[in-house]
Amino acid sequence: MARPVTQLHPPRTPVAPRPAATLLWLRDAPAGPEVLLTRRSPNASFLPGVFVFPGGRIDDADASAADLVGEAAAALPHLAAAVAALRESFEELGVLHAHDAAGSPVAASELAGLKRHEPLHPQLRARGLRLAAGALRVAVRWTTDRDVQPRRFDTLFLIGRMPEGQTPVADEAEQFEPVWLRAADALARHEAGTLPMIFPTLRTLRWLAGFDSVDAALAACAGNRPHWESCPRGALVGGKPQRFMETDVPFGELELVCPDGQMLHALDWQSERPVQLLRHLWRFTAPNPGVMTGPGTNAYLLGSAAAGWIVIDPGPPDEVHVKRLLEVTGGRVRTIICTHSHPDHSPAAQPLAQACEAATGQRPPILGLPSAPTARAHSEFTPDRTLADGECIVLDDPAHPLTLRAVHTPGHAANHLCLVLEEDGLLFSGDHVLSGSTTVIDPPDGNMAAYIDSLDRLLRECERHDIRFILPAHGHVIGSAPQAIAWLKSHRLAREAKVLAAMRECPQGNADDWVPIAYADTPKQLWPVARRSLLAHLERIEALGRAR
């Protein structure tokens, strides 16, 4: 974990979330399943005027209502949430999913006799009615993001089929305008600005849009386990708040920069100035965006104006970018480290070192691994000094001393290395691990067997140094470092299995025949690039004796 002293924002304790439940009533319609939404009161203290699914807090009476459900339902782990969701549905919309003692749906006459503005549970007990809690299924779970004050909720989202013969009627106090919509139509209306909704509702609707019937949605939730459990994080994009869940690419960066959920970090990509991630860490993205480089190549600056700087991966030979690096550091660069010699990473090292020497009279050494004979001409590289595997580079900063340990990780390139910032558990991964995409393994300098072995080594480094975050050469910071690396290895092995399947399907074919089969899930315009990695997989398959 990053040291608390390096965090940019003062620590704070988020408000504890309250348990809550919400209910997606579904019904089949000719164009596809529809879900019930209602508009919250414009005077509500929480989420005024937005469209939501009915629901609310789980109270003590809900948690002790096992006698109001059948024997089987009483054992449900989500019983309190189901009871609360059904109660809130009745209070807000007049919709009650209940049965009489014989197990028959509640009759219209019974429903008319219940009073929505009086406690529901005593009325049900008096009439011998039972809530149909067992008919509901767990869909997803959302916890209100940490920056929301003063109310947060830990909410279980349930789904159920709308009881027959009932029409929702809003209470005109908490809820207004009940409306049935297909999930896709609700999302379209939100985009058009006519249906305001919050992030969890939108993401849940996006999931729901994948089903073509109520039965299909209910079947997908038969296990009564949330499809996901998320506590989103917020950031500024284009100056406006935007939220992200754990599976979204920027989530790890927000977790590093704003661990307590402060919505203060801007995610916009630009190359004019560096982006501060920690008190002693800045990311400066080169102006070389593209298909292979994403938003550009990330140079990382470690240190301070007082202690000087270590520059990791200065980038391509762009004069403007080198000038900006010089201006930001004041030329007080102690060391330049290149993770590997590809043309978007190392060429700026020499001009930056020369510019620093001209500005301060001291030339920083360029460290890294020399390119191998297998490297292409544009990737030839000779450092001032070779970094030994396990060697440490120390910056004696009085405020934030740091130790970078070199870890040789061939695979993407024969001379690739990663760097571990030991004091903060950070991994600078170069191109070995990327954010939002997989790296290309391009033989002969790239080697798939070495790449997978290096992933195993990085997993060991994560355990050894408690590494939580990865800082890649392209894209945002990656969180949950061990899981991200393990997923990457699994993905590579799964792709190799697809290559083997393609070889079996077309045994007389070649790489050009196998790419469309093995990379059928990849956009066709990327197949020429995918072909390089396929060749690397073929080398590993041959080496393992699996080509037969």
CATH superfamily of 18-230: Nucleoside Triphosphate Pyrophosphohydrolase (3.90.79.10)
477 pLDDT above the threshold of 90: yes
For the domain spanning 269-492, the CATH number is: 3.60.15.10
- Per-residue pLDDT band for 330 (boundaries 50, 70, 90) equals very high
The most distant pair of C-alpha atoms in the chain lies apart, rounded to whole Å, by 92
- Pairing assessment for the beta strands 333-337 and 98-99 based on DSSP bridges: unpaired
Instruction: Pinpoint the residues of the chain covered by CATH 3.60.15.10.
Output: 269-492
Of 230, 173, 210, 168, residue with least CA distance to 37: 168
- Per-residue pLDDT band for 41 (boundaries 50, 70, 90) equals confident
- Per-residue pLDDT band for 2 (boundaries 50, 70, 90) equals confident
- When pLDDT is averaged across residues 509-531 and rounded to a whole number, the result is 94
Q: Look at residue 415 in the predicted model and tell me its pLDDT.
A: 98
Q: What is the pTM of this model?
A: 0.92
- Per-residue pLDDT band for 107 (boundaries 50, 70, 90) equals confident
Q: What average pLDDT does the chain have?
A: 94
- In sequence order, which residues have a C-beta less than 8 Å from that of residue 489 and are 6 or more positions away? 452, 455, 456, 459
Please answer whether residues 346 and 368 qualify as being in contact, where contact means their C-beta atoms are separated by less than 8 angstroms. yes
**In 10 A of CB 119, how many CB atoms?**
12
- Per-residue pLDDT band for 33 (boundaries 50, 70, 90) equals very high
Please answer whether residues 352 and 337 qualify as being in contact, where contact means their C-beta atoms are separated by less than 8 angstroms. no
Q: What is the pLDDT of residues 360-410, one digit of tens each?
A: 999 999 999 999 999 999 999 999 999 999 999 999 988 899 999 999 999
- When pLDDT is averaged across residues 57-84 and rounded to a whole number, the result is 90
Main-chain dihedrals φ then ψ at residue 489, nearest 5 degrees? -65, -45
> What whole-number percentage of the chain has pLDDT above 70?
100
Q: Position 339: which residue type?
A: T
- In sequence order, which residues have a C-beta less than 8 Å from that of residue 179 and are 6 or more positions away? 36, 37, 38, 51
Q: Look at residue 548 in the predicted model and tell me its pLDDT.
A: 66
Instruction: Pinpoint the residues of the chain covered by CATH 3.90.79.10.
Output: 18-230
Transcribe 257-285 into DSSP letters: H-TT--S--B----SSS-EEEETTEEEEE
Q: Look at residue 148 in the predicted model and tell me its pLDDT.
A: 83
Transcribe 122-172 into DSSP letters: HHHHHHT-EE-GGG-EEEEEEE--TT--S--EEEEEEEEEPPTT------S
